[in-house]
């Protein structure tokens, strides 16, 4: 599979007017869905409302044009909200722009290095844990606006936000709270009435009407932020070595999260259209989208599963739908953005509550707690708690370390070194078992599982009795060997040489054989001591025994 093959070029070869009409309809509907979400996610990220639209417009267009998926819709997502808010609070808007640009470059490099297929090796327990953790942090971050509270401080960490909530209970606004509850209920029940018009849009319209007609005393976007309907403009932040090194961890976090979420979204959409995405092309496109988003005042972007699903369900089948969605949002920005100042903050919080609920995947979370092995449950809970209490970077780092250690232990547990006397024939038809008698003064050990550092000590317990003159390692069950496994085998060979014992290797597979040749171990063993199968090894052992007895 080539590294960079945009799906747009492939789909345009057979493009029809009928499909263009379907893509137009799907793109417009997705734009209507993306409008309130883009504004809400921008505010949750600590940036101006229009920056959410900038992201959906710039990144959405670029990623659709260059992407490796037919139907992926990209833009700001809830997964980035907490990360972006932290960067803005500590390093300013220019810091966020630079981190986004750097993340885009990292994603492009990841795609060029064919890292697209490696994302699948991140365990499901980690992605479920940090996704649920992000959902919880979003909810905690929106309690203030949902309840109409006033904070005396500007908390950044989740712990600080919880403390600020409890210390500000006296500022609780019942009108804001009830308005927020109504907006949540609208989003829950509206899809039962009409599935094409998003419930979030109905909630916003209803909340604006309620505030105006009932004269409710609640904060609106306009009372807290300045609204602009200007098109995004190019801005390149100042760069120096200190700022780049300081923002590098944040950039890697954004890149990893963008890569994971976008490719997960691609996998979901592939199942819906019976298609297949190009993961490396998608990573390059996500990188380009984030690069241009940062240069034109946007925030980090990635594939949005909900918007992608809406695109597919409404007939979108080519990247043209995603490009039309971006163009439609651009028109909305220019013509209708000033009206966004009327949107009440409790309505924004209610939208984010529902987004957090859906992204939490709490049913999958509970299923894992009930059915997963204890080690996986530990990884899930640790990743979840660290995401909420600390941040996503620490959560993913610790989660991957725990997952790697768990995997190594499981692999080590599966590797066995077992002595035997009789073994079934290796022929394909093994219905008739043929006894294989081991010659005198010979030990045979069946090695089953990878020979790697996690299981190295299991090869150190081979007895070197004076009555033994031959040891056979049957290695047909060894798929792979690392440097530590190779070193363990060399130590066994050294002990064999010391006790004048011949070491025979039976049925060595391709990768272990390549490792032996590379290290020169094959010459130490001798070509004659590599046996094609156990029968040949036993015959060789019998021959060695006869030579030994003849001395």
Domain boundary among the residues 363, 383, 408 is at: 363
| Residue that the structure tokens 């070194």 belong to | 417
Residues 126 and 231 in one domain: yes
pLDDT of residue 550: 63
pLDDT at 426: 46
The answer to whether the CB of 34 falls within 8 A of the CB of 75 is: yes
- The pLDDT tens digits for 459-496 are 666 777 778 889 999 999 899 888 888 888 888 898 88
Q: Which residue has the tokens 């028109």?
A: 331
Residue 175 domain flag: yes
CA distances 257 to 291, 304, 309, 430, Å, are 15, 12, 20, 49
Q: Give the separation between CA 1 and CA 283, rounded to whole angstroms.
A: 14
pLDDT tens digit sequence for 369-383: 998 888 899 999 999
Q: If you average pLDDT over residues 183-193, what whole number do you get? A: 94
Is pLDDT at 424 greater than 50 in this prediction? Answer: no
Mean pLDDT of the chain: 88
Residue 162 lies in a domain: yes
Q: Does position 364 have pLDDT exceeding 90, yes or no?
A: no
**H or E element that contains 75:** strand 74-75
Candidate from 38-47, 64-73, 440-449 with smallest mean pLDDT: 440-449
Judge if 248 and 170 occupy the same domain.
Answer: yes
Q: In terms of domains, do 434 and 349 share one?
A: no
* Confidence band for 138, pLDDT divided at 50, 70 and 90: confident
The answer to whether 461 touches 492, Cβ cutoff 8 Å, is no
Percent of the chain at pLDDT above 70?
Answer: 94
Residue 530: φ, ψ to 5°: -95, 120
Domain at 497, CATH number: 3.30.750.24
> What is the count of structural domains for the chain?
2
Residues 478, 480, 484, 490, CA torsion sign: positive
132 and 267 part of one domain: yes
pLDDT at 385 (0 to 100):
94
Do 310 and 431 sit in the same domain of this protein?
A: no
Q: Are both 273 and 160 inside the same structural domain?
A: yes
pLDDT classification of 3: cutoffs 50, 70, 90: confident
Tell whether 374 is covered by a domain.
no
Question: Quick one: 315 and 452 in the same domain?
Answer: no
Domain check: are 341 and 489 in the same one?
no
Half-sphere exposure of 486 (CA within 13 A, CB side): 17
- pLDDT of residue 410 exceeding 80, the answer is no
404 within some domain: no
Question: What is the mean pLDDT of the segment spanning 124-153?
Answer: 89
Output the CA–CA distances (angstroms, integers) from residue 418 to 98, 291, 474, 513, 533, in the order listed. 57, 56, 10, 21, 17
**Residue at 544 is within a domain:** yes
Among candidate residues 107, 53, 54, 38, the one with its CA nearest the CA of residue 285: 107
Per the listing, tokens 């039309």 go with: 324
Taking only the tens place, the pLDDT of each residue in 499-551 is: 889 999 999 999 999 999 998 999 999 999 999 998 899 999 988 888 877 65
Angle at 5 between CA 3 and CA 11, to 5 degrees: 160
Residue with tokens 């979108």: 316
Residue 350: exposed, middle, or buried by beta-carbon count in 10 A (0-12, 13-18, 19+)? buried
If you ran DSSP here, which 8-state letter would residue 456 be given?
G
Ramachandran quadrant class, 75 (left: phi over 0; alpha: psi -120 to 50; beta: rest):
left
Distance CA 415, CA 292 (A): 49
- Average confidence (pLDDT) over 36-63: 94
Whether 466 maps to a domain, the answer reads: yes
Residues 255-305: pLDDT tens digits? 988 998 898 888 878 888 888 999 999 999 999 999 999 999 999 999 988
Q: Looking at the structure, do residues 191 and 338 belong to the same domain, yes or no?
A: yes
pLDDT at 146: 96
Domain that holds residue 524: 417-550
Residue 418 DSSP class: E
pLDDT at 431 over 60: no
Question: How far is 301 from 308, CA to CA, in rounded Å?
Answer: 14
Q: With bands split at pLDDT 50, 70 and 90, how would you rate the model's confidence at 456? A: low
- Residues 117 and 50 occupy one common structural domain: yes
The closest of 316, 309, 265 to 286, measured between CA atoms, is 265
One domain, residues 261 and 141: yes
- Got the DSSP string for 218-247? --BHHHHS----PPP--------HHHHHHH
Most confident of 164-173, 188-197, 231-240: 164-173
pLDDT band of residue 457 (cuts 50, 70, 90) is low
Distance CA 336, CA 42 (A): 17
Which of the four pLDDT bands, split at 50, 70 and 90, describes residue 169? very high
275 and 165 in one domain?
A: yes
Going by pLDDT thresholds of 50, 70 and 90, the confidence category of residue 2 is: confident
For residue 506, list its beta bridge partners: 474, 531
Domain boundary among the residues 319, 336, 363 is at: 363
What's the whole-model pTM score?
Answer: 0.74
Domain final position from 297, 331, 363: 363
pLDDT tens digit string along 216-270?
999 999 888 888 889 989 988 888 888 899 999 999 999 988 998 898 888 878 8
Is residue 403 domain-resident?
no
Give domain status of residue 12, yes or no: no
């Amino acid at each position: 599979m080539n590294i960079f093959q945009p799906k747009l070029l492939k789909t345009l070869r057979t493009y029809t007017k009928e499909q263009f009409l379907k893509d137009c309809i799907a793109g417009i509907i997705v734009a209507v869905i993306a409008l309130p979400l883009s504004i809400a996610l921008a505010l949750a990220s600590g940036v101006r409302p229009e920056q959410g639209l900038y992201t959906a417009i710039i990144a959405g267009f670029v990623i659709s044009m260059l992407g490796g998926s037919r139907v992926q819709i990209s833009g700001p997502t809830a997964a980035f909200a907490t990360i972006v808010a932290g960067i803005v609070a500590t390093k300013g808007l220019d810091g966020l722009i630079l981190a986004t640009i750097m993340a885009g470059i990292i994603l492009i490099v990841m795609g060029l290095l064919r890292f697209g297929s490696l994302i699948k090796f991140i365990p499901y327990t980690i992605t479920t844990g940090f996704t649920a953790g992000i959902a919880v942090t979003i909810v905690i971050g929106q309690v203030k606006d949902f309840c109409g509270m006033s904070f005396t401080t500007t908390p950044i960490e989740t712990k600080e936000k919880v403390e600020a909530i409890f210390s500000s209970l006296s500022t609780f606004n019942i009108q804001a709270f009830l308005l927020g509850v109504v907006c949540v209920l609208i989003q829950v029940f509206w899809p039962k009435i009409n599935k094409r018009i998003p419930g979030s849009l109905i909630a916003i319209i209803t909340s604006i009407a309620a505030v105006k007609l009932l004269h409710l005393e609640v904060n609106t976007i306009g009372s807290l932020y300045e609204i602009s309907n200007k098109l995004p403009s190019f801005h390149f932040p100042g760069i120096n070595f200190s700022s780049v090194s300081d923002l590098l961890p944040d950039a890697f976090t954004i890149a990893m999260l963008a890569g994971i979420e976008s490719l997960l979204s691609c996998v979901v959409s592939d199942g819906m259209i019976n298609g297949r995405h190009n993961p490396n092309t998608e990573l390059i496109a996500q990188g380009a989208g984030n690069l241009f988003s940062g240069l034109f005042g946007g925030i980090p972007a990635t594939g949005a599963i909900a918007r992608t699903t809406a695109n597919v369900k409404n007939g979108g089948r080519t990247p043209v739908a995603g490009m039309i969605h971006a163009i439609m949002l651009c028109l909305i920005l220019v013509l209708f953005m000033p009206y966004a100042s009327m949107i009440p903050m409790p309505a924004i919080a209610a939208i984010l509550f529902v987004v957090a609920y859906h992204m939490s995947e709490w049913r999958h979370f509970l299923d894992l707690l009930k059915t997963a092995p204890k080690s996986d449950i530990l990884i899930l809970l640790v990743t979840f708690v660290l995401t909420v209490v600390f941040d996503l970077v620490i959560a993913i780092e610790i989660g991957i370390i725990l997952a790697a250690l768990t995997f190594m232990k499981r692999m080590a547990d599966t590797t066995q070194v077992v002595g035997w006397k009789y073994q079934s024939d290796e022929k394909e038809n093994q219905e008739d078992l043929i006894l294989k008698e081991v010659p005198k003064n010979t030990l045979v050990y069946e090695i089953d599982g990878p020979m790697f550092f996690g299981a190295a000590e299991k090869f150190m317990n081979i007895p070197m009795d004076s009555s033994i003159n031959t040891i056979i390692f049957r290695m047909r069950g060894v798929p792979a060997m690392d440097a530590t496994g190779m070193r363990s085998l060399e130590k066994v060979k050294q002990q064999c040489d010391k006790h004048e014992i011949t070491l025979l290797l039976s049925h060595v597979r391709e990768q272990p054989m390549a490792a032996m040749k590379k290290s020169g171990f094959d010459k130490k063993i001798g070509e004659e001591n590599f046996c094609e199968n156990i029968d040949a090894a036993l015959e060789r052992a019998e021959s060695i025994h006869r030579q030994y007895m003849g001395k």
